[in-house]
Every structure is written in C-alpha cells, then in structure tokens.
Structure 1
Amino acid sequence: MKIICYLNSTMPEEISHVKEKLFENIFNYAKGGIAIVSPKGKWLKVNASIVDLLGYSKNEIYSMTFQDITHRDDLESDMEYFNQILSGEIDSYQIQKRFFHKNGAIVWGHINVSVFKDEVGEPRYFISQITDITAQKEAALHHNLLMDIIQDKNKTLNDFAHIATHDIRTHVGNLDSITGFIEEDCKPIVAHESFLMWKESVKNLQETLSHLDDIRTVQSSQKKDLKALPLHDYINHAIYNVAGIARKQDVVISNNVDTSLKVRAIAAYLDSIILNFLSNAIKYKSQDRLPKIEISSRYEDSYAIIDIKDNGIGIDLDKHGHQLFTLNATFSDHEDSRGIGLFITKNHIESIGGKIEVESELGKGTCFSVYLKNAE
C-alpha cells in the first residue's frame, strides 16, 4: 500500500502569513505593554497598552526615546543594564522603574527587556514588556506611610503610658497611705466588708500599674515572654475586682474553671481579658431575669478554652457579627458603650497566640469562648 502526499507549494507562505498575523494580533491586543526599541533607545513600535499606560499618542511616542520619559532617579540603573546588553554581557534584564505620564503623573512599570540580534550577533532591536504596577506601588507606599504613623503613635503612647503610670502610682501610693491612716485611727471600720473591699481594690490597682509597666517593655508575640499562669486564680481576682458592681446589679458569678489549669499568657493581658468580659456581661444584663455569669473550662488540642456564658440581652450576630470585634462598633444604646473593649480584648488574645469565638441569641444571652495556649 502506498501513501502519496501532495504538498501544496503555497503552504509555507500561508504558514508564514499566519505566523505574522498571529504575532501582530498578540502584539497589538496584549493586555500588557509591548514595545520594540532601537539600540539608541528610540521607540520603533508600541502597542495600544503602551499608549494607555503613558498617555501619549503613538506618533508622540515615536518622536521620543525611552530615556526622555524615564524618571531620572531610575535612568542610571536602566541604562547600566541596557549597555550591558549592547556589549553582549547579558541577553535580558528585569527592573522596576518610573515613567512620566503625559499629564505629569508618575507611572510605575515592571520592565522585562530582551534583545534581538542580527546574523552577525549585533543587537538589532530590543523587545520590552511593560506591566503597570502603579497601584501596587502606591498601596505599598501608603502602607509604609501608615506604618511610620503607627510607629510614631506607638512611641507617643509608650511615652504617655510611662508618664501616666508614674503619676498614677503617686496617687495610688497616697491612697495606700490614707488606707493605713484609717486602719490606725478608725479601728471600728477595719473589719467592715466595704473597707476590706476598698483595701483590696487599692492593692489590685497597684498590681495593675505594675502590669502596665510590663506591657511597655514586653513584646507579647515572643514566646519567651509568656508565663504559665493559674487561670482559676486570675478569674477569682477579676471577679473580686467587679464584686462591688456585681453586688449592686444583683449579678451572680460562678467560677467553675479547673483549679489545676494553667495557660501561657501575660499577666496584664489575662487580667484585662477576663475583666472586660465580666464587665460586659454585667453591663448588658437582662432586666427580665436574675443575671448570671458562668465561667467554665475545657480542652481542645493545644488550647485551654474558657467559656464565659451569661443570660443577658444577647447579640444579633446576623446583623452585627461581622463587626463584633472592630474598633468603635457598638450594638446597643447603653450609655457606656464605646466600641473599644472587644477590639482591645481580641488583640490581647491574638497577641498571646489565642483566638476567640462567640455564640449568642438575642434575648437569651451570650457565650464567649476564649482559646489560650495550654501551659501543659
């Protein structure tokens, strides 16, 4: 059996024509900018994306060199690579550089340049692919600016914390001295419950100031700064700190946390976390029933979980869940609502390697589950 192939003599010409047409379409309609540039930097051919990127018409571009519209701070490095291609040291290069748009604005481009050589190896022209990265660059510059502002604000806050703790410590020292005078001069009230709560509160305030000093110097993200803390004791400490408010509001608080449980945390942060949840649970109690707060513990993988459950007014999570822990977000008309507490608390929890979840039903109550690293 013979197979005879008849070759059409026009086929190579047709293929060549298709290739040329294909290249022309790719060149003209490519999303990114493509340009052909002479060894002297003159624009020989550009596509529509280059026109859109730079704002000049094609005729205007063809009357210029790329050097004419390159930012002077980027021109030296660009020319250094360009000359290396001319000398044969390299065949291509990639850089990020700035162009001047026709309206004077700065346009950032990611440039990929390669060379096309003639039969004797001399550069005939350059092919440049240009991707617009202006938006990314502006976003990065904006981010860096914000970081500079944040660092400046952090320094200001650190200075303020130093001054505030120093001044408040003086006042607390005075309160402690006055407490001692009362103990000496007013013996009958020394055993009174209210005086004992006052005395303990002054002591706790002194401890809080000591913790604030720690916060100024401790980088909470570093594991070496985390300590194994007895969770049950810290909860009892927080309950005592709100005992006066809880008694006035007829709130019953139960600490059912495992007495042997220890979590890895920073003392000041753990105090603040528990205290904020207790304060919120009291603040948003229901008027329709006896307010109760139950604190329990459980374990999951490497986490010790604190469940802080109340029977208060609850939160409409469908409506407010997406902004629950955002700054300045409030979900009730309570006069003390500021939208700061949960934002700060969430940051404290995450900074010591934890996380937080919430379940709530409007009119029935809320349960915050705080995941902290188990010290065991």
Structure 2
Amino acid sequence: MPISLPFIKEKLFENIFNNASNGIAIVGLDFSWVKVNTSLMDLLGYSEEEFYAMTFPDITHKDDLDADMEQLGQLLKGEIDRYQIEKRYFHKKGEIIWALLSVSLQLHEDGTPLYFISQIVDITKRKEMLWEMNAITEIMKNQNEKLIDFANIATHDIRSHIGNLGLITGFMEEEVEGIQDDGNFKMLKEALIQLENTLSHLNEVRKEEFNGRGHLKALNLNAFVVKVIYNINAIARHEDCEIINEVDGTIQVLAVPIYLESVILNLLTNAIKYSATKRNSYIRLRTIISDDFVILEVIDNGLGIDLDKHRHNIFQLKQTFHHHKDSRGVGLFITKNHVETMGGKIEVESQVDEGSTFSVFLQEA
C-alpha cells in the first residue's frame, strides 16, 4: 500500500521540528504554547510542561510585547503573511535572551486561522558584540574629541612660543654683532621656520574633515629628505652619524606633506638612536622605481633587529627592541600608519649588529 502524500508531509515536518538546531514552536491563537521543540527548551531553560502552563507574553520582555502583538494582529487580518522581529525573552534563570523571531500563520482548509508557527534564533552573542562595538566607538569618539581639544590648545600654545622665539632671535641679531654668520644661529632660525611649517601642516591634519587619501599631493621626495636631514643635522653631528643622501632629485611622489616628513624623520632619528658605537655610523637614503611605486630605502649599519623574534610585531604599538632611555615603541607604529594612509606600505630587513634597511613604498606621482 503506497504511503500517502499528507503522511510524508506530516513526517517531514515532525523531523524538521524535532531536529532543528533553532527553536521552533506552534503557538495557539490564544498565545499559548501548543508544541515546542528541544532546541527551544534548551534555549530558554523551561521544560515542556512549564511551557504548556504559560503563554508567550509571560516570558516576553514588556518593551517588545506591543510590537510583537501588533504584527500578530496584522497576520490575523491577512495584511501580511509573515513577519520577523528582534525581541527579548526571559530565560528561566532570569537572564535576557535576545532572539530573531520569525512568525507565520497556518490556516484551516476553509481559510480560517489555525495556529502560529514561530522560529526563534538566538542572537544574544551577536547583540553583545554589537553593544561592545558601539561602546568602543563611543569611547573612541570621546577620545577623539579630547584629542581635538588638546590639539587646539597645543597648536595655539606652541605657535605662541614660536612667535616668542622669533622675537628673541630678532633681538639677538640686533644686539650681537656678527651672529647672522654663526652656523648654529643659522640652524636655529631655520629650525624655527620648519617648526612653523610643521605646525601649519598639523593644523590641516587635525581638521575633522581631513582624510589622508583625499589630501595626497605631488611632492618632490628629495626636497623633503633634504629638509629633514637639515632639521636633525645637530643630532646626527652629536652622535657622529653620517647621513648620505642618494635620493633622485627628480622623483615626485603622491603623499601628505606632514605624513611624508614624519615618516622620514622617524626613520632617520631611529637609525641615529640605535647606531652602533663601536664603528663609524652612517645612514644612506636612496630611491628605486618599481612598477607604480617609488621605494625609499633607509639603510643603516646600526644595532639591527632580531627579525626571527620580532618580525610580526615590529610595527606594533609599544614595541621596543633595544634598551634606550628614549624608546617608547611609538615611532614605527605611527610611521606604518602614515605610509598606509598614503596608499603605500613599509618593509624591513635587518641583521643583529649589522644594520637595517627600511623600504618605504610610495605612489609615484
């Protein structure tokens, strides 16, 4: 005797109902639980008997009940054929369970409502992750606002000090005969000019609408290298470190001025800071063209870095690789972020007690 189609459908529904990984329930028109599967009992912690003694409003969060009842009303009136909402249930232990509820209406053959079929998916962890992300976003927003306030104050105060130093150098020129020809005095005046330029660039960066990629300009790379070398000339001289500039003077790169200056400055000052005292120290800068990138290589013969230990965290925040009183583990992190913001990348090769080569890939203009 052949098996009837209604029997097959009934068995198929029973198998799906009993073995589904998500909660499934048949709910009566009076909102009572008619049948619940094991997954729903596991999710909410109630036994089958406990479910049958309750209606779904009994364990629904009051703030979600009205929206659920309104949708059920539309379902009964035939205005919709199904609905889906996020809602909260109370677990037997009192915990809140967030669920994605999908409801459809089963009808009699004559078209009158018979019962509701509810599918309940646990989204508690998803909601918790969303709350955590929102909390982090809010913290970052508050921190950014504080940083903006700090930047406003700092740039204002620094500009005042620059103005004051400018007046002092003016007085010195008037009162000290021949000081204009003194090399150190010339470096001081040039350093003040460069500090003023840097501050102007910082003012652009701190603007709320600033976007690194949107502010790329065609810049002469060698001009920035020369500028940075001049600004740190006193430091290099103090540490007996020779800086050799072999950068092609014709190369133009797409970069943000303040970022490009910061990248070169960080790499040079790092190389000076970690130079080897037992040999004559040098830093060589040169350029290579590769595809659409200009590669700025900064090569030194300093202490080097053990890449077997540190390759994967060399550009991470608060990572230091040598004992030095001024080490903060911030410079390379900032450098990498600046380079990537400009659409490039940075790589490093190094040998302990032999030196390092940092390769900065910049877009060719």
TM-score range, shorter chain: over 0.9
Tell me the alpha carbon deviations over residues 190-212 of structure 1, each in whole angstroms, 9 at most, x when there is no partner: 32222221221122112122222
- For the pair 1:308 / 2:298, whether they are aligned, the reply is yes
Size of the aligned set, in residue pairs, is 365
For residues 363 and 344 of structure 2, the distance between their equivalents in structure 1, rounded to whole angstroms, comes to 6
- Aligned in 2, Cα 1:366/1:218: closer, same or farther, shift over 3 Å? farther
Question: Which stretch of structure 1 is more off in the superposition, 231-240 or 116-125?
Answer: 116-125
Specify the alignment match of 2:323 in structure 1. Answer: 333
Which of 59, 65, 68 is residue 75 of structure 1 equivalent to? 65
Specify the alignment match of 1:27 in structure 2. Answer: 17
Tell me how far 1:154 sits from its aligned partner: 0.8
For residues 198 and 102 of structure 2, the distance between their equivalents in structure 1, rounded to whole angstroms, comes to 58
For residues 133 and 106 of structure 1, the distance between their equivalents in structure 2, rounded to whole angstroms, comes to 11
- For the pair 1:320 / 2:307, whether they are aligned, the reply is no
For residues 176 and 132 of structure 2, the distance between their equivalents in structure 1, rounded to whole angstroms, comes to 62
Q: RMSD between aligned alpha carbons?
A: 2.2
Specify the alignment match of 1:351 in structure 2. Answer: 341
- For the pair 1:181 / 2:189, whether they are aligned, the reply is no
Gaps of 5+ in 2: none
Superposition map of 1:181-330 within 5 A: 181-217=171-207, 219-221=209-211, 223-330=213-320
- For the pair 1:369 / 2:329, whether they are aligned, the reply is no
Superposition map of 1:47-86 within 5 A: 47-86=37-76
For residues 314 and 8 of structure 2, the distance between their equivalents in structure 1, rounded to whole angstroms, comes to 60
- Aligned in 2, Cα 1:32/1:363: closer, same or farther, shift over 3 Å? farther
- For the pair 1:92 / 2:82, whether they are aligned, the reply is yes
Could you state the TM-score of these two structures normalised by the residue count of structure 1?
0.90
1:142 partner letter: E
Tell me the alpha carbon deviations over residues 13-55 of structure 1, each in whole angstroms, 9 at most, x when there is no partner: 7x97776555444323322222221223222222222122222
Q: Secondary structure at the match of 2:46?
A: coil
Specify the alignment match of 1:107 in structure 2. Answer: 97
Tell me the alpha carbon deviations over residues 31-90 of structure 1, each in whole angstroms, 9 at most, x when there is no partner: 222222122322222222212222222222222222222223322222222222211222
Tell me how far 1:139 sits from its aligned partner: 0.9
Specify the alignment match of 2:133 in structure 1. Answer: 143
Contact 1:39–1:86 under 8 Å retained in 2: no
Q: Percent of counterpart pairs with the same letter?
A: 52
Tell me how far 1:160 sits from its aligned partner: 0.9
Tell me how far 1:244 sits from its aligned partner: 1.0
1:347 partner letter: N
For residues 215 and 238 of structure 2, the distance between their equivalents in structure 1, rounded to whole angstroms, comes to 38
Tell me how far 1:172 sits from its aligned partner: 1.3
Contact 1:32–1:129 under 8 Å retained in 2: yes
Contact 1:220–1:266 under 8 Å retained in 2: no
Tell me the alpha carbon deviations over residues 194-244 of structure 1, each in whole angstroms, 9 at most, x when there is no partner: 222122112211212222211221644364422222111011111111111
1:280 partner letter: N
For residues 48 and 269 of structure 2, the distance between their equivalents in structure 1, rounded to whole angstroms, comes to 68
Could you state the TM-score of these two structures normalised by the residue count of structure 2?
0.92
Q: Secondary structure at the match of 1:44?
A: strand
2:42 partner letter: D
Gaps of 5+ in 1: 1-8
Tell me the alpha carbon deviations over residues 271-330 of structure 1, each in whole angstroms, 9 at most, x when there is no partner: 111111111111112234322222222233433222222222222223222222222222
